[in-house]
Amino acid sequence: MLQTAELIKNHCISFLKTNDISDEEIEKIKFTVDINKDIDRGDLYTNFALVTSKSFNQNPIVIAINLAEYLHQQLDKTIFKKVEAADAYVNFYLVDSFVAPKDSVIEHPDFTGKKIAYEYTDPNPMKEFHIGHLMSNTIGEAISRIGELAGADVKRYSYQGDTGRHLAVTMWGLRFMENPWPDAEGITITDKVKFLGQAYVIGNTKMNEAKEKGEAEYSKVMTEIETMNQKVYDRTDEEVNTLYDQGKEWSLQKFEQLYEVLGTKFNHYFFESQTAPIGKKIVEENLHATSSVFTKGENDATIFVGEAYGLHTRVFISAKGIPTYEAKEIGLAKAKYDLWNFDRSIVLTANEQNEVFKVTNKAITLLMPEIGSKMEHLGHGMMQFVGQKMSSRTGKILAGDELLE
């Protein structure tokens, strides 16, 4: 559509020249060709007549009529069905069959020739892919395709949380499941993934029940979950490793089935298990530097004091030495840049993460300015049930494949 608008502009300038308007005067004339909001008035319109009234020393309605007659003769009839003057404007109607060439590029300085990495969807293994992920995928696909249309060299990435508390809760919740581990022949990938999602729900339920029983019981349960989290992170328990690896594999298989239906082809997948050690190393090395951006907080946790930058404080390495989501984001930024030296990195998440990304992107900019200056976060709205938030913890979600079916 923008190329079509440029075509109209060029013919309008030719109209000026045929009417003996000087090049110097033409340089000063700033008219527009825009998309018509009222489809009954055509696809495009121009305010040319209003802007050039002084140059022609004529009533803009007369200019619009003359311009419409001129353009009707000049414009390609395979593209333009009708050119019509309407008061001081000229409206353009495109033929119904007109489609912009597939290889057309709309040049834009923020995109054309730039290497742009888009990260979106980001489902977590052992949690169901729900309609919130579908929305993120749709937005990510739309924005990345716009980037391609604008001439960018685009890479699509997905970042998946294969470590962290949600994994620990799922693995801990397995002990409460009535049904056996679903590795028997004949069980579908969908049912296997649902089993893992149920383990996550029951793990959270048992954790909340313990909290209601009192501090002693809750502390006991949280210690068990922390121990499981440590086992998942450092892979010191063979039985846990076996179940974890199989569950993760099932989840990734299910994700691929959904991506095939959605038409999404990611160039690379990043995992928290890969970015965690990278981020932890960067944070620890900086902590001991002369001008560190980190400091030690409560219980010896490593924190970033965001208040110094108008933000808020967040933990990057826990008291037990485990890198948090924030430290993993630092590792992810480094891993992305090492894989592909991008000009821009655009991350899409739900807007509930906006404040977190303000902190992590600030930390990345202070630690690695050449990377941080290229990082962008776009927060989008959240899919909700009527009056309540969707929650994988409680099982109140609509699975993505249910909607697609």
In a domain, 196, yes or no: no
CB atoms within 10 A of CB 119: 23
| Domain co-membership, 284 together with 146 | yes
Per-residue pLDDT at 88: 93
| Domain co-membership, 148 together with 14 | no
Model confidence pLDDT, tens digit, residues 132-148: 899 999 999 999 999 99
CA distance 405 to 160: 24
CA distance 52 to 271: 58
Q: If we measure between CA atoms, which residue out of 36, 101, 54, 46 comes closest to residue 70?
A: 46
Q: Quote the tokens at residue 261.
A: 């239906």
Per-residue pLDDT at 403: 74
Token pair 């009708």 is found at 82
In a domain, 44, yes or no: yes
Kindly report the CATH number assigned to the domain that includes residue 33: 3.30.1360.70
| Domain co-membership, 68 together with 131 | no
| Domain co-membership, 275 together with 363 | yes
- The residue from 61, 94, 127 where one domain ends is 94
Q: Quote the tokens at residue 201.
A: 């729900």
| Domain co-membership, 157 together with 20 | no
Per-residue pLDDT at 386: 62
Per-residue pLDDT at 141: 96
Per-residue pLDDT at 101: 57
Per-residue b or e along 79-103, where b marks 16 or more CB atoms closer than 10 Å to that residue's CB = ebeebbbeebbbbbbbeeeeeeeee
Three-state secondary-structure class, residue 271: strand
CA distance 86 to 220: 76
CB atoms within 10 A of CB 22: 11
Per-residue model confidence as pLDDT tens for the chain (405 residues): 667 888 999 999 999 999 999 999 999 999 999 988 888 889 999 999 999 999 999 999 999 999 999 999 999 898 999 999 999 999 999 998 765 555 667 788 899 999 999 999 999 999 989 888 999 999 999 999 999 989 999 999 999 999 999 999 999 999 999 999 999 999 999 999 999 999 999 999 999 999 999 999 999 999 999 999 999 999 999 999 999 999 999 999 999 999 999 999 999 999 999 999 999 999 999 998 888 999 999 899 999 999 999 999 999 999 999 999 999 999 999 999 999 999 999 999 999 999 999 999 999 999 999 999 999 999 999 877 766 676 777 767 777 777 776
Q: If we measure between CA atoms, which residue out of 332, 290, 325, 276 comes closest to residue 119?
A: 332
| Domain co-membership, 19 together with 155 | no
C-alpha distance from residue 155 to each of 109, 117, 141, 225, 348 (Å): 18, 5, 11, 37, 14
In a domain, 236, yes or no: no
Overall number of domains in the chain: 2
C-alpha distance from residue 338 to each of 70, 101, 119, 332 (Å): 56, 35, 15, 10
Question: What's the domain range around 395?
Answer: 115-161+252-404
| Domain co-membership, 278 together with 399 | yes
Per-residue pLDDT at 99: 55
In a domain, 343, yes or no: yes
CA distance 22 to 34: 25
Start-to-end CA span in the chain (Å): 34
Kindly report the CATH number assigned to the domain that includes residue 354: 3.40.50.620
Three-state secondary-structure class, residue 190: helix
| Domain co-membership, 82 together with 119 | no
| Domain co-membership, 129 together with 271 | yes
